[in-house]
C-alpha cells in the first residue's frame, strides 16, 4: 500500500520545483495541471463535453485555455459549469494514476487541495511556501501576468499562512538546497514510518 502525500501551495511558491524534488527521491508524482492539459488536448476526455457546453472553446480539435478565459470573463456561470465537467475527469485521471503507480510514496500535486476540502483523502499533506516578496518576484519574472492579475489570483487563493497551518509538512523554497533538504527529510520520515507500519 502506497503512502498518499498531498502537495499544495499558492502561485509562485515553487510547487513544481518541489514536486520534481520528490520525483528525484523516487516518489511517483501526479500533477493536476498536467492532467487538465491532457484532458484539453486534441482527443482528450474533456474535448467532447466541453465542446457541447462551450463550442467557442474548441480550437484546432482541443480546448483552448485562452478561449475559456474569454468565456469566463463574459459569463458569470461559465466557471462553475467548466468545473462540473472537468473536476470528475481530473478525479478519474488521478485515480488511474494512483492505481498503476508502483512507488512507496505517491505525491499528488493539487493546487486547491485545502480549498477543495480533499485533505482528508491523504495520509499527509505538504504546503510549499516562500516569503511574499520572493513569491511576487517569481510570478512577475515569468512575464505571463501583470501585477494586478497576480493580486487578483492571490486574493482568490487561501492565504499562505492558513495553508501552512493546515499542512502536516511545510517546505520553504527560499533556496534550492534548503528545499531539497526539507524534501529529503520528509521522504525519509515517511519511509521510516512505512518500515514500522
* CATH fold of the domain at 31-102: Rossmann fold (3.40.50)
Average pLDDT over residues 173-193: 97
Average pLDDT over residues 110-128: 92
pLDDT at 116: 85
pLDDT tens profile 18-63: 999 999 999 999 999 899 999 999 999 999 999 999 999 999 999 9
Nearest to 186 by CA among 13, 26, 69, 38: 26
Four-residue CA torsion sign, 101, 103, 104, 106: negative
Burial bucket for residue 100 (CB in 10 Å: 0-12, 13-18, 19+): exposed
The domain limits of the chain are: 1-27+106-197, 31-102
Burial bucket for residue 192 (CB in 10 Å: 0-12, 13-18, 19+): exposed
Question: Is the domain defined by 1-27+106-197 classed in CATH 3.20.20.70?
Answer: no
pLDDT tens profile 128-144: 999 999 999 999 999 88
On the question of a common fold for 1-27+106-197 and 31-102, the answer reads yes
Amino acid at each position: 500500500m502506497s503512502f498518499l502525500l498531498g502537495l499544495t501551495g499558492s502561485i509562485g511558491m515553487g510547487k513544481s520545483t518541489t514536486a520534481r524534488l520528490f520525483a528525484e527521491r523516487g516518489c511517483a508524482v501526479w500533477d493536476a495541471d498536467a492532467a487538465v492539459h491532457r484532458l484539453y488536448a486534441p482527443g482528450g476526455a474533456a474535448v467532447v463535453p466541453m465542446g457541447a457546453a462551450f463550442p467557442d472553446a474548441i480550437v484546432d480539435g482541443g480546448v483552448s485555455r485562452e478561449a475559456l478565459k474569454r468565456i469566463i470573463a463574459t459569463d458569470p456561470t461559465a466557471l462553475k459549469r467548466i468545473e462540473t465537467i472537468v473536476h470528475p475527469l481530473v478525479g478519474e485521471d488521478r485515480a488511474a494514476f494512483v492505481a498503476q503507480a508502483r512507488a512507496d510514496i505517491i505525491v499528488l500535486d493539487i493546487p486547491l487541495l485545502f480549498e477543495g476540502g480533499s485533505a482528508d483523502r491523504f495520509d499527509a499533506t505538504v504546503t510549499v511556501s516562500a516569503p511574499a516578496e520572493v513569491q511576487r518576484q517569481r510570478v512577475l519574472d515569468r512575464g505571463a501576468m501583470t501585477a494586478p492579475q497576480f493580486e487578483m489570483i492571490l486574493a482568490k487563493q487561501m492565504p499562505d499562512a492558513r495553508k501552512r497551518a493546515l499542512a502536516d509538512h511545510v517546505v520553504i523554497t527560499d533556496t534550492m538546497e534548503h528545499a531539497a533538504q526539507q524534501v529529503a527529510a520528509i521522504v525519509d520520515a515517511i519511509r521510516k514510518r512505512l518500515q514500522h507500519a
